Structure 1
Amino acid sequence: MLLDYGYFNIFQFINPYSRDKLVKWLRDEVAAVRRDYPGSPVSLVAHSLGTFLVARLIEEETAFSFDTVLFSGSIVNTDYDWSKYLDSYRVKYVANYMAKKDIWPALASYIVKGAGRAGVDGFESTHVSLFQHLHSKYGHSDYFNPHTFKELWLPKLVIPQRQVIETLSGLLVQAKTLLKTSPESGDCHVRVRMFYNAGDTTFRQFPGMHAATSKEVRYSEEELDYALTRESALGAVATCPPTFQAAFTTTPTEWSALDESQPTNGRGDLIAAVSARLFSISQPDAPAIGMVALEVLEAGDHNHAKQAVGAKPLVPKLSEYVVTACVGIQALFPEN
């Protein structure tokens, strides 16, 4: 449902009474949606001034709760306390899409009290259910394109974000705990991410659905933008471990433990990789609708070969963990 507050000029923007009037308008509109669709989860997608209004609404209207809140071109202050609302489940998941070439958040922060640069600098708050992405070439409204709507925003609005990221974070803890049982691989880093089927036999990284045990091994922008195809999976090129072939098979899982003789299949610091496909519960033999991939990466200043030897016997157990996580995630997907 599109909510349009109409034309709002710069003089109205700097007038606090005009802004208060818009917050009241938004409060009434959301109340009407909740009344017309009782019990249904409500998500909000806001741009520019809309992000300011939504942030005010969440602060002031404690009776409202939201599933996903998605911002682009945000003019909200960077110190907005998302953790407060996420921890209390007032909001279940937040996605903030930033643009490096966006000049309006900086301008808003100078002329409007309480406005800020979250659309460029991001929010200071850190939370497992707060996702932030900076596009280095985008301006204020450049996220408004078919690719963004179809492949970035729509999936975020139909999948229970918080439950998925909590499952992936739990998977990380399990994997790290298991690796610590081996003296050789105990210091290894672990990271995990989820792909979805974008159609045309192409899988893409699900925005925000990734986690890592260390800042050192967080996924790069290149890795997160990587398009996984059958050809790239079979060739194990770029950032694609060979286990990603699981996305294109009907077998429950495939995995591969890498040793010192194969250090360049995807990444030079890759020790082991495990993946399992996500499939439709009603159509288990159909092509995969997604995939979860877990990677074990060497710790700096450690011997790659020793870590690989230590991790290799643990790979089957890691595979069990990934499959179990996939079963839980599959139950969250709406059936087609």
Structure 2
Amino acid sequence: MMRINRLDLTRYGKFTDKHIDFGPVEPGRPDLHIIYGPNEAGKSTALSAFLDLLFGIESRSRYDFLHPYSTMRIGAALEIGGVARELVRIKKPQNSLLGPGDQPIGEHLILGELGGVERDVYCAMFSLDDDTLEEGGESILASKGDLGQLLFSASTGLAALSQTLVELRSQADGLFKLRARSSEIGDLKSRLSDLKERKEQIDTLATHYRQMVETRERSLAHYDEAMADRTQTQLRLDEIKNLLTALPRLAELRDIWDNLAELQDVPEAPPSWANELPALHQEDIELAVKRETAKASMAELEKGLNAIALDEIALTLGQRMDAIGELHARYVTAERDLPDRRLQ
């Protein structure tokens, strides 16, 4: 069961932040509320707001003369199945029913409580005014609409006969309808024809199938033989490639053997040479460095010697200098001996 405790005309029609509070149920008292007032007071607006809350604001609503579509907002405090709910409806094509925090919630919350009744049926049953009463009477006389069917079925004792006939006719039209572009039977016949055509395309005689199997087996055997031959050929190809890669080195090796053949008469090196060779090699390097250093020193000395200018006069005095040097030595010796000779 659904009960409305409060209707919020937040932004709807001429109302802004208007609330109609029906209060809680009072035990032992009728739960009936009457909203009354003069013409143009907003009674029809409140009824339309309640319907829009349940089923969504109509796409071409006539209650946007003060608040545009993007700002229209209706709220309500409802009891649905004994549970208190605070709901809000805004003007949107989808997700227009909001719950706490303005989070979208499913329409099934309301529609499930209404038993799936649509807006037109709900209005015809519960939202009665002069216009709907007049239209309802005409529908009853014409046996149209849910209310007409209800009264007709009750008077004849055939419950839901009209609705059953409509459903059966709809099912029959869905199965097959003359000159219809599409129907279930027509689609199935078309599919059956396609399957038959496909079956004929892939159908094969037993003898032909046996020949195909034998051909397949021979082809597989030939394939296996070809793969084995390919493997052997690849191995031989790799072997030839390796030989071709080794040919240049083979020529070098032959040259080395020819050179070694010329040294057959050379005596074998002492066994100690293998250990002495690194030290000898290092010593050879050091001697080569010293030789180059000595050559450089000799070159410098020769260069300095060549730069000396000969003094011919000094050269002529060379012999005299030798004699003077000899006399000087005698003088030094005599000078050392003089004290001893004086004592004698």
TM-score, structure 2 as length reference: 0.22
Higher RCO (C-alpha 8 Å, min separation 6): 1
When Rg is computed on C-alpha atoms for both structures, the one with the higher figure is 2
TM-score, structure 1 as length reference: 0.22
Structure with greater proportional helix content: 2
